[in-house]
Structure 1
Amino acid sequence: MSIKKLDDGQWLVDCRPEGRNGPRVRQKVQSKNEAVHIERRLMGDGANGTFEKKAKRDDRRLTALIDLWFKSHGCTLKRGEERQRALVSMAERMGDPRAADFSTTHFTQYRADRLAGKYGRESAGSGRKKGEQAKPVSANTLNHELAYLRAVFNELERLGEWKGDNPLSKVRALKFDETEMAYLSVEQIPPLLADLDARSVAAGLVARICLATGARWSEAEGLAARQVRDCRIHYTRTKSSKNRAVPITETLQKQIKAVLPFGDCYKRFGEAVAAVGLDLPAGQLTHVLRHTFASHYMMNGGDILTLQRVLGHASLAMTMKYAHFSPGHLADVVNLNPLAGSRGHFVDIPKD
């Protein structure tokens, strides 16, 4: 145990709070008084048994933490491998920092670069040439990436594999405008189905299942014969992990039974949409069929609770986005606004 002055004018505290066999603490300070204060505090903590050894630096790479997360937890998720690939890609774009050095700055800089279109989607068949500027990534996508990476640290902490605070705990999600929710009109459905039938009977049936039951394209496309019985489609291994059964007509059931299995016909849907000239928002290709079912269900007088069960939403809040399609939703606005019942407030537009 000692306090000594160094050649550069600083003072060195060198002591072992827990005795000669305990950890050694060495610390430089600017004054002798500060050195004495630190030495007394450390030695007092050692005598009281409250001294805590400085945590060992965690030199694991971010990709190593992601690998550990996957082996201990991620492999149990339905889309765990896909999530792992996304996380590894994020880590590599951030330079794969060491755990001890990883901070909010790494992610916020990465996010800013993604928003500016610095990184593209390096998936096969993207069609983007090397060095070509990529399209900016949406705020919603980046919010999902933040949640994925934050969950890695949370899970490792629960497993005792990560010490300290979550480095992303204080990073806020980005705000963005609610996306447009497109749906098909009654007049748009027949031409689309006719074009699909001409391209692939299976694709036409998958689309009809989505329109009749509100299923996701992947749920309908992957149906097995055992899931279609008693005029019901039994959806299993769903996104919400809950099974659900939705009634269908006997005619649709016979058609499905005659064609199963459907195989991969996603591409056919995209070709049909382009052929009939449907203008859909980005990211809402096959999902427009699910939106169309829900929208027409509510417009035709359906109730929101039943719709929640049919769609398999985990919470009613997810289903409420379709509530405004109900005929009675905000209907009194027309009759109770200050202009109602008085033609004097309106302007007569002359006819040509």
Structure 2
Amino acid sequence: MVQTSNTPLLIATPRLRQAQKLWQQALANERRLSASTLAAYDRDLDVFFSFLTMHQGEVADVSHFQILKPMDVRSFMASQRQTGLSSRSLARTMAGIRSFVRHLESRNMATSAPFAAVNTPKYSKGLPKPLTIEKATNLIDPSQSLEEDPWVIARDSAILALLYGCGLRISEALGLNVQEAPIEGRDALTITGKGNKQRRVPVLPIVQKAVTHYLALCPFELEPKDKLFRGVKGGPLNPRMVQRTVEKMRGSLGLPETATPHALRHSFATHLLANGGDLRTIQELLGHASLSTTQSYTQVEMGELMDIYQKAHPRS
């Protein structure tokens, strides 16, 4: 449902909504996409339904997907460009719509030919921006730059240690339960990442020590199934608080804006690669579905080597 001024506008017939629901169920069950990805796809599809309703002069229906022309698809993309949508965001939007159309086509309810005839927006994929070993080490020690309660500093140190020491995403670290806590003596973690895919991750002793120290100082009584990391009021910690912690530390440590919690994950992969880690192993540790995603770290490493070469070689 989209709203213009005070008048609600129906943008999809019940038949089209039912098809959308079945598509979402297929994505969740077969491709095991995360809830956030499913929600983003749903929003993008609603934008396309709204366009179709205005473009066709009637409420969007499954039948419209059988008569679409490449010109219609290009018109939609142009309308999104006019809203200021970036190439990256438009490419994601188109990926979701193409997925829905393929779903309809598999049921003989549409044709994907008009979409195949239109090129996906091109955009440059930025390389990961890892930190140096020294900067990453400084970033996982909040005690040197933050004035907080000791237990809060211990908590933040444990989280940042998990990001750099295990290559976890923020959501994965904050998703850990107390019973899963990698305390001293527990040298491995089972992580459920994107698409509910599980992977086994080794835990360094220094990370185990940081988590154990946090639990010893945490002022709240925690049950085994409670979330491990807590906010100052006792509720599960919000990812935004971790980002704010790193923002504060950047200023006091003189780190660049690229020093983010996720940069610690990039640093984990890049430093492993620089010290002889192979791509397949790093792919498994990071939980990447595709090796091509992990290969971006080889470009980072080569870039650093070339920078050193150009600065040091007498003929550079």
Percent identical across equivalent pairs? Answer: 23
Equivalent residue, structure 1, for 2:201? 246
Q: Any stretches of 5+ residues in structure 2 without a counterpart?
A: 1-9, 219-226, 230-235
Query: CA 1:325/1:88 → structure 2, altered by over 3 Å: closer, same or farther?
Result: closer
Alpha-carbon shift at residue 224 of structure 1 (Å): 1.5
Q: Distance in 2 between matches of 1:289 and 1:299?
A: 15
Query: CA 1:209/1:173 → structure 2, altered by over 3 Å: closer, same or farther?
Result: same
Match among 231, 248, 254 for residue 187 of structure 2: 231
Match among 152, 155, 170 for residue 217 of structure 1: 170
- Show CA shifts across 1:79-104 (max 9, x none): 23442133213432554653426444
Match among 287, 295, 298 for residue 312 of structure 1: 287
Equivalent residue, structure 1, for 2:223? none
Query: CA 1:225/1:193 → structure 2, altered by over 3 Å: closer, same or farther?
Result: same
- Show CA shifts across 1:150-173 (max 9, x none): 11111122234x144554222211
Does the Cα contact within 8 Å between 2:94 and 2:120 map onto a contact in 1?
A: yes
Query: CA 1:149/1:197 → structure 2, altered by over 3 Å: closer, same or farther?
Result: farther
Determine helix, strand or coil for the equivalent of 2:134: coil
What amino acid is the match of 1:256? V
Q: Any stretches of 5+ residues in structure 1 without a counterpart?
A: 1-59, 119-135, 347-352
Equivalent residue, structure 2, for 1:149? 97
Query: CA 1:61/1:78 → structure 2, altered by over 3 Å: closer, same or farther?
Result: same
Alpha-carbon shift at residue 255 of structure 1 (Å): 4.0
Query: CA 1:334/1:207 → structure 2, altered by over 3 Å: closer, same or farther?
Result: closer
Given the alignment of the two structures, is residue 265 of structure 1 paired with residue 238 of structure 2, yes or no? yes
TM-score (norm 2): 0.67
Equivalent residue, structure 2, for 1:91? 49
Equivalent residue, structure 1, for 2:22? 72
Matches within 5 A, 1:125-144: 136-144=84-92
TM-score (norm 1): 0.61
Highest Rg: 1 or 2?
1
- Show CA shifts across 1:204-229 (max 9, x none): 32222111111111111111234345
Equivalent residue, structure 1, for 2:80? 114
Alpha-carbon shift at residue 334 of structure 1 (Å): 6.2
Does the Cα contact within 8 Å between 1:153 and 1:166 map onto a contact in 2?
A: no
Match among 159, 184, 198 for residue 206 of structure 1: 159
Number of equivalenced pairs? 257
Calculate the aligned-residue CA RMSD, in Å.
3.5
Query: CA 1:205/1:159 → structure 2, altered by over 3 Å: closer, same or farther?
Result: farther
Given the alignment of the two structures, is residue 176 of structure 1 paired with residue 132 of structure 2, yes or no? no
Normalized per residue, the structure richer in helix is 2
Does the Cα contact within 8 Å between 2:129 and 2:266 map onto a contact in 1?
A: yes
Q: RCO (CA 8 Å, sep 6+): is it higher in 1 or 2?
A: 2
Determine helix, strand or coil for the equivalent of 1:168: helix
